[in-house]
Structure 1
Amino acid sequence: NQLSSIVEYPHLIALRLGLSHTDYYEQFLNNTRTHLPRLTQLKVNYTRLTFVTENFTRDATRLNCTNVKQLLIREQLVHSEDFYIYFPVVTSFCTPEINKIKKFQY
């Protein structure tokens, strides 16, 4: 039996996982491994996020997502009810299409 402890990052507010391997998603989002009490910005690959969170139904990864206010993604989303339970305080999303539009609105 290996003893493991939960690693806490009390000052981490932004996490960019992007195209990282799903093991990193698991390591940082699973609250039995890592505690991210101040995480407010998360950059992810939507496919990998849905895999690790089991389509936003997995309790072990929910806690570290509850304070995220800004979700940075590359894919277009169709939000499920479970998605909003996972990210109850999200106020902004950012996709490449949105960035392109903003660049041309000077």
Structure 2
Amino acid sequence: MPYYVEITNNFPGGLYQYVRFISLYDEYSFEHEFFIKISQSFPFMEKLSLINYQSQKHKQSYKSINDNYNSTIVKYNYLVTLHIGEVHDDYIEEFLYNTKTYFHSNIGIYIKYKSLERVTHNFTRDVLRINCAKISEIFFYGEKIYCKSLRDYFPCAIIH
């Protein structure tokens, strides 16, 4: 089975080494530990789609890198496409903050421009630049006029 769709917080875990595409959807927030479970259950995942408008409950743990509760970095070694256009801003930060998420270069993301602008503080927030530099393509929903600093923030990306 190459795909597993509409995974919720009730996902029991397991190993799905042949699944390449997954989609996550829930009405309850996904916490960092859930993304750890997902990355371990789908080690060869290439495409990830996420829909969740609820803010993360344990977001305050982002403030402390030494906090044991949220210290594990989620690794997506084979991820090439990330759909985060229908999410709360917390999930954009979850994926772009390099102390939370690691992925290789050449990632294509689908995202709302205004959400990205908010999370990056109008493309000035330095702590997100490491993962942003790994993005090779950005597909925006909505807005068609972009800030000039967008190009500097995503130096390797083709912007669609």
| TM range, smaller chain | 0.7 to 0.9
Aligned counterpart for 1:49 among listed residues 116, 135, 139 = 116
Identity level (%): 34
| CA offsets 1:30-87 (integer angstroms, 9 cap, x no match) | 1121112234201001111111111111112111111222211122333334211111
RMSD over aligned Cα, in angstroms?
A: 1.7
C-alpha contact 2:84 2:110 (8 A) present in aligned 1: yes
C-alpha contact 1:18 1:43 (8 A) present in aligned 2: yes
Structure 1: distance between partners of 2:114 and 2:159 = 19
Gaps of 5+ in 1: 94-106
**Structure with larger RCO (C-alpha < 8 A, sep 6+):** 1
What are the within-5 Å matches in structure 2 for residues 90-105 of structure 1? Answer: 90-93=157-160
Q: TM-score, length-normalised on structure 1?
A: 0.76
Report what 2:88 is aligned to: 21
Q: 2:130 aligned with 1:78, yes or no? A: no
Aligned counterpart for 1:2 among listed residues 67, 73, 76 = 67
State the aligned residue count: 93
Gaps of 5+ in 2: 1-65
Higher strand share: 2
Segment drifting more, 29-38 vs 75-84: 75-84
Structure 1: distance between partners of 2:119 and 2:159 = 22
Quick one: structure 1 residues 80 and 2, their matched pair in 2 at CA, closer, same or farther if it must change by over 3 Å?
Answer: same
